[in-house]
Amino acid sequence: MVNQNRTPASQAATDHEPTINKIALEEHFSIGELLPTSAELEFFDPLVLSEIEPLLPELAEQRLANMDKAGIEIAVLSQTAPGIQAIAESTEASAMARHANDALHAAIEQQPRRFRGFAALNLQDVDAACTELKRCVSELGFVGALINGSTQGEYLDNPRVDLLWSTLEQLDVPLYLHPGLPTNQPASMVKELDGATWGWSFDTATHALRLIVKGVFDKHPNAKVILGHMGENLPFYLWRLDSRYATTRYRNDIATTPSAVFRRNFLITTSGVCDDAALQCSITTLGPERIMFSTDYPYEDIELAGRWIDQAPIDPLAKTMICRDTARTLLRLG
């Protein structure tokens, strides 16, 4: 059978009427100072990039119209990669995180029914980042934080970052672990596979697994991490992960199997993956209650993402959960 979901976005029909009011969680913007440089996104086809770039700072009519095409009622916005994580100097990172979060707050104030925010965090200074996270959640009404990969090569299993996990638990908000710019690519990487094609998923999935095997969730059992891109391929890999982890001489004394931790502490979004087979696999391995709709705007075709989930051949109750209900409960959107 031909999989219609593999139809390129440019060939997709445009007369679709969205059928579910959705909440989407991986929707990017950028303040002018943090717009990705062409060097940072050099793997993009320049023509594709020229269409995306003008959409990043735009937080008004065009974005709302695009959300409407996909039936998205609420978009949770986040500063795009590499963002704060790419800033080498700690004081500058702190000031810029605050600036990006204030700009996002101003946009939310303009559209309080349509926008929410994930905080950008300056983990170059963990104490300052936790203070900023508390400000964003308690004073600005943000619903969590989004981190773009490692911060200057440092991953979130580093004990130095422990206060971040305590603060997330205390505030009871999730951390969205989004790809950033990997600092150490495996020797096998080639340009054709770098970036969003494969390299970012490899780095982000490894980042997530580091959190599990280093025991972050034994210490912080209530921490919640969201992975985009249908879980960065991990839902497909859970059985082998457990099987081979049980045989490595380097395994740590974590309380349960890696897959059990993944199922307990992680949620995933559908961002950038409009594939029925991948969705079915994730529903089977995680349950629909741990999957949430997202689009990865403006890097992906928002209308295609909305039409795909509206037409996905899954149970209607599961679909409502994925499109809206889980996010509403997790982010306490009322």
Q: Which of 26/132 has CB closer to Zn ion?
A: 26
Q: Does residue 300 interact with Zn ion by CB under 5 A?
A: no
Number of residues that bind Zn ion (CB under 5 A): 2
State the angle between helix axes of 302-311 and 61-70 in degrees (0 to 180), rounded to the nearest 10: 20
In the complex, minimum distance from the CB of residue 43 to Zn ion, in angstroms, rounded to a whole number: 14
- Cα dihedral 195, 198, 199, 203 in deg (nearest 10): 120
Taking CB under 5 A as the binding criterion, the range among 2-10, 136-144, 291-299, 318-326 that sits at the site for Zn ion is 291-299
The residue whose Cβ lies closest to Zn ion is 296
In the complex, minimum distance from the CB of residue 28 to Zn ion, in angstroms, rounded to a whole number: 6
> What residues numbered 71-130 form the site for Zn ion, per CB under 5 A?
none
> What residues numbered 21-40 form the site for Zn ion, per CB under 5 A?
26
Instruction: Report the b/e string of 4-41 with b at 16+ CB within 10 A.
Output: ebeeeeeebeeebebebebbbbbbbbbbeebebeeeeb
User: Are 168 and 145 spatial neighbours (Cβ–Cβ below 8 Å)?
Assistant: yes
84 closest CA partner among 53, 58, 123: 123
Tell me whether residue 58 is exposed, middle or buried, using C-beta atoms within 10 angstroms of its C-beta: 0 to 12, 13 to 18, 19 or more: middle
Q: Which of 164/177 has CB closer to Zn ion?
A: 177
Q: Number of H helices and number of E strands within the chain?
A: 14, 8
- Please say if 296 is a catalytic residue: yes
- Out of 45, 172, 203, 296, the active site residue is 296
In the complex, minimum distance from the CB of residue 200 to Zn ion, in angstroms, rounded to a whole number: 9
In the complex, minimum distance from the CB of residue 162 to Zn ion, in angstroms, rounded to a whole number: 26
Would you list the DSSP string of 209-248? HHHHHTTHHHH-TT--EEE-HHHHTHHHHHHHHHHHHTT-
In the complex, minimum distance from the CB of residue 229 to Zn ion, in angstroms, rounded to a whole number: 8
User: Are 117 and 140 spatial neighbours (Cβ–Cβ below 8 Å)?
Assistant: yes
Among 27, 232, 296, 303, binds Zn ion (CB under 5 A): 296
Taking CB under 5 A as the binding criterion, the range among 29-37, 45-53, 296-304, 305-313 that sits at the site for Zn ion is 296-304
In the complex, minimum distance from the CB of residue 220 to Zn ion, in angstroms, rounded to a whole number: 24
182 closest CA partner among 159, 157, 151, 156: 151
155 closest CA partner among 173, 118, 180, 131: 180
User: Are 125 and 152 spatial neighbours (Cβ–Cβ below 8 Å)?
Assistant: no
Q: Cα separation of 126 and 161, whole Å?
A: 6
Binding residues for Zn ion, per CB under 5 A? 26, 296
Catalytically annotated residues: 296
